[in-house]
Amino acid sequence: MVYVIRELRALDIFALDRMYASLSKRSKLFLHLGYLGFDSVGVSWFQMHAAILLSSIKVVRKSMKRLFPLSVLFSLVIVSEKGTIIGFSFVKLKGRFERGGWWGELVMGLRDDHHRKGLGSKLVGASINQARSEDVKEIFLTVLKINVGAVRFYGNHGFKMKHTAKDRVRWRGKEYDNVEMWLDTTIPNPRYDCPKQAQAMFIKEKKQD
Ligand SMILES: CC(C)(COP(=O)(O)OP(=O)(O)OC[C@H]1O[C@@H](n2cnc3c(N)ncnc32)[C@H](O)[C@@H]1OP(=O)(O)O)[C@@H](O)C(=O)NCCC(=O)NCCS
């Protein structure tokens, strides 16, 4: 099976909601996004959809980066041969360093039936490369402490744990501890140092034993 990683297009947006809606309860808890899926429709759903949609148009994104940088997202999707969205990643700009360059927050997820086949690794590499090309010097993310697989996954890709249980996340009436992890994108990493990787990448699914 061949998959393609490419930038999200405006027309992908509802397929992305469908993909998120199809995730297991556990993956939704791990992602706990209040702005994807049709059961989250509300003010923040509309705001984020507008930001995702406008950011998906390169020329608009360029102007937004100058005028409203904190609304800018760099979004990638991983798509199967049939054109189905298997996973997505967002790097949302969060601030600008005085020394120049940006920091942003990464969120990503794959369909449950596509975990642990190496696809997440390709997607995180592509997201980091794309962010780098947009002068994002540091990327942070938060993961639930109980999501030990994802903590290991991001650790494998150079993210360092900064705080544990910094914030408590409330999701569907329960509270969870969060772990914050940071990546300095200026440090070379042979796992994803590959120019032009972000735009289009064709990868073969790892054969299951
Ligand atoms: C986290 C996620 C993006 C990883 O993508 P993936 O395609 O499954 O990961 P890869 O196959 O590229 O890498 C697998 C490696 O990461 C680590 N890993 C990933 N998931 C793991 C799990 N559930 N348990 C233990 N280790 C795990 C392991 O080191 C694993 O290597 P191994 O399979 O040889 O043991 C994906 O599992 C996912 O979408 N999870 C649900 C949503 C989520 O948790 N998102 C992160 C919150 S921001």
Instruction: Return the closest-CA partner of residue 38 out of 60, 65, 19, 63.
Output: 19
Q: Whose CA is nearest to atom 22 of ligand 1?
A: 149
Ligand 1 geometric centre to CA of 68 (Å): 33
pLDDT digits (tens, 9 = 90+) for 75-134: 999 999 999 999 999 999 999 999 999 999 999 999 999 999 999 999 999 999 999 999
Q: What is the pLDDT of residues 147-189, one digit of tens each?
A: 999 999 999 999 999 877 656 888 888 889 999 999 999 988 7
Q: Is the pLDDT of residue 54 over 90?
A: yes
Indicate the top mutation candidate among 116, 152, 171 to test ligand 1's pocket, ranked by most ligand atoms within 8 A of CB: 116
- The total domain count for the chain is 1
From CA 134, how far away is CA 80, in angstroms rounded? 26
- What is the domain extent for residue 30? 2-204
User: Is position 75 within any domain?
Assistant: yes
Q: How far is the CA of 94 from the centre of ligand 1 (A)?
A: 25
**Rounded distance between C-alpha atoms, residue 147 and residue 24, angstroms:** 14
Sheet with 2-7, edge to edge strand ranges: 160-171, 174-184, 136-144, 102-110, 85-96, 73-79, 2-7, 201-204
Average pLDDT, the chain: 89
Residue 154 has φ and ψ, to the nearest 5°, of -70, -35
Distance 7 CA to ligand 1 centre (A): 21
Using the atom order of ligand 1, give the atom closest to the CA of residue 110.
39
Bridge-partner residues for 95, per DSSP? 103
- CATH number of the domain encompassing residue 116: 3.40.630.30
Over residues 19-44, the pLDDT tens digits come to 999 999 999 999 988 899 888 889 99
pTM of the predicted protein model: 0.91
Give domain status of residue 209, yes or no.
no
Give the Å distance between the CA of 118 and the centre of ligand 1.
8
Atom of ligand 1 nearest to the CA of 142: 48
- Does 197 or 182 have the greater pLDDT score? 182
Q: Is residue 190 part of a domain?
A: yes
